[in-house]
């Protein structure tokens, strides 16, 4: 592999590993293929979407040379945008809820971003970002975009997000599995990873089934009543009933995972497989294990290891484990 001209060229083409130890320890039949997107330069899968959105916006002229970029983030998208914008000469403003772990803000600042922290909604819990918290961050992001004449990256709606996963994540997963995947599972954040990856996988296997994962008590996409909008799985599960990038028609079913199950599975992922990941990766693997114990028994399921456990050192993900 030849050297890249910048760190942007190192985004994507992450390795994949089979989680055979976790599967065997539970007496299950089948395999889980984990794509290690925490090995991207910004330590998360959002590097792909950041590059996809900025490349598309520069190409169509909606982002002018040197123009400021603004986006709401739980930290991962902001880190990806901080990297891409720094290299391409765009000032970047990250707007984030104080409910997210502080490691994320520090990393974005170190990468040259201006970080605006937004207070949580009344009765919200630090470390648990709800849809109400996200709405406050959205309001702040809109205001700052207007004040600065900035380009809004808009990860929840910009087609460059899903297209990045269609162009890269899906084809990579399929090739890494030796063209053997029978299902794909993904925790719902912006919906771009699921929508783009599933479109690519379905082009290669029309029978491949897709499963969307939501937090227990906040499964709005599945049409369930929202009883616990606050949960520890940062970066998604905002109890939003619609995500335009998700492509519902590609979802065979919707699954729920509790915060505690995600936590325990993330810890098991570290101890059994040596993969030091975050909450949403644990949710993905837990859902895949449930599927191997049920309707996908004997199958081969693809999952994304969304981000690094380093971004959660101040949370209870590791503190009492």
* pLDDT number for residue 169: 98
Q: pLDDT (tens digit, 9 = 90+) per residue, 5-51? A: 999 999 999 999 999 999 999 999 999 999 999 999 999 999 999 99
- The verdict on 69 and 84 lying in the same domain is yes
* pLDDT number for residue 237: 81
The model carries a pTM of 0.94
* pLDDT number for residue 282: 97
- The verdict on 110 and 175 lying in the same domain is no
Q: pLDDT (tens digit, 9 = 90+) per residue, 94-106? A: 999 998 888 889 9
- The verdict on 82 and 33 lying in the same domain is no
Q: pLDDT (tens digit, 9 = 90+) per residue, 240-298? A: 878 999 999 999 999 999 999 999 999 999 999 999 999 999 999 999 999 999 999 99
- The verdict on 194 and 313 lying in the same domain is yes
> What's the total number of domains in the chain?
2
- The verdict on 204 and 298 lying in the same domain is yes
- Residue 33, domain member (yes or no): yes
Q: Is the pLDDT of residue 140 over 80?
A: yes
Confidence of residue 238 (pLDDT cuts 50, 70, 90): confident
Q: Is the pLDDT of residue 166 over 80?
A: yes
Among residues 152, 174, 198, the one where a domain terminates is 152
CATH of residue 100's domain is 3.40.50.1100
- Residue 219, domain member (yes or no): yes
Least confident of 56-65, 70-79, 223-232: 223-232
- Residue 278, domain member (yes or no): yes
For the annotated catalytic residues, the residue numbers are 46, 280
- Residue 174, domain member (yes or no): yes
- The verdict on 26 and 110 lying in the same domain is no
- Residue 2, domain member (yes or no): no
- The verdict on 131 and 202 lying in the same domain is no
- Residue 1, domain member (yes or no): no
- The verdict on 40 and 51 lying in the same domain is no
- The verdict on 75 and 112 lying in the same domain is yes
* pLDDT number for residue 1: 66
* pLDDT number for residue 161: 98
Among residues 152, 181, 201, the one where a domain terminates is 152
Percent of the chain with pLDDT over 70: 99
Spatial strand order of the sheet with 114-118 comes to 114-118, 92-97, 69-72, 151-152
Among residues 117, 152, 187, the one where a domain terminates is 152
Confidence of residue 320 (pLDDT cuts 50, 70, 90): low
Full domain range(s) for residue 142: 46-152
* pLDDT number for residue 321: 46
* pLDDT number for residue 226: 87
Least confident of 30-44, 127-141, 231-245: 231-245
Average pLDDT, the chain: 95
């Amino acid at each position: 592999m030849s050297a890249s001209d910048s760190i942007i060229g190192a985004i994507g083409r992450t390795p994949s590993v089979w989680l055979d130890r976790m599967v065997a320890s539970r007496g299950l039949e089948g395999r889980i293929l984990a794509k290690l997107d925490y090995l991207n330069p910004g330590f998360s899968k959002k590097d792909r979407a950041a590059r996809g959105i900025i490349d598309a916006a520069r190409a169509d002229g909606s982002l002018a040379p040197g123009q400021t970029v603004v986006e709401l983030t739980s930290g991962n998208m902001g880190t990806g945008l901080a990297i891409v914008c720094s290299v391409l000469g765009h000032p970047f403003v990250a707007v984030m809820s104080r409910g997210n772990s502080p490691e994320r803000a520090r990393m974005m600042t170190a990468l040259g971003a201006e970080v605006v922290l937004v207070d949580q909604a009344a009765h919200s819990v630090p470390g648990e970002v709800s849809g109400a918290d996200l709405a406050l961050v959205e309001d702040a992001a809109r205001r700052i975009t207007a004040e600065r004449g900035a380009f809004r990256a808009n990860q929840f709606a910009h087609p460059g997000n899903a297209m990045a996963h269609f162009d890269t994540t899906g084809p990579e997963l399929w090739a890494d599995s030796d063209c053997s995947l029978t299902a794909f599972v993904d925790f719902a954040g912006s919906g771009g990873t699921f929508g783009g990856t599933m479109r690519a996988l379905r082009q290669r296997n029309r029978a491949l089934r897709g499963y969307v994962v939501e937090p227990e008590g906040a499964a709005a996409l599945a049409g369930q009543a929202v009883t616990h909008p606050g949960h520890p799985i940062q970066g998604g599960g905002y109890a939003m009933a619609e995500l335009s990038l998700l492509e519902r028609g590609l979802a065979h079913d919707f699954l729920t995972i509790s915060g505690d199950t995600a936590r325990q599975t993330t810890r098991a992922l570290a101890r059994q497989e040596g993969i030091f990941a975050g909450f949403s990766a644990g949710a993905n693997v837990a859902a895949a294990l449930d599927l191997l114990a049920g309707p996908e028994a004997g199958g081969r399921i693809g999952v994304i290891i969304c981000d690094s456990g380093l971004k959660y050192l101040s949370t209870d993900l590791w503190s009492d484990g």
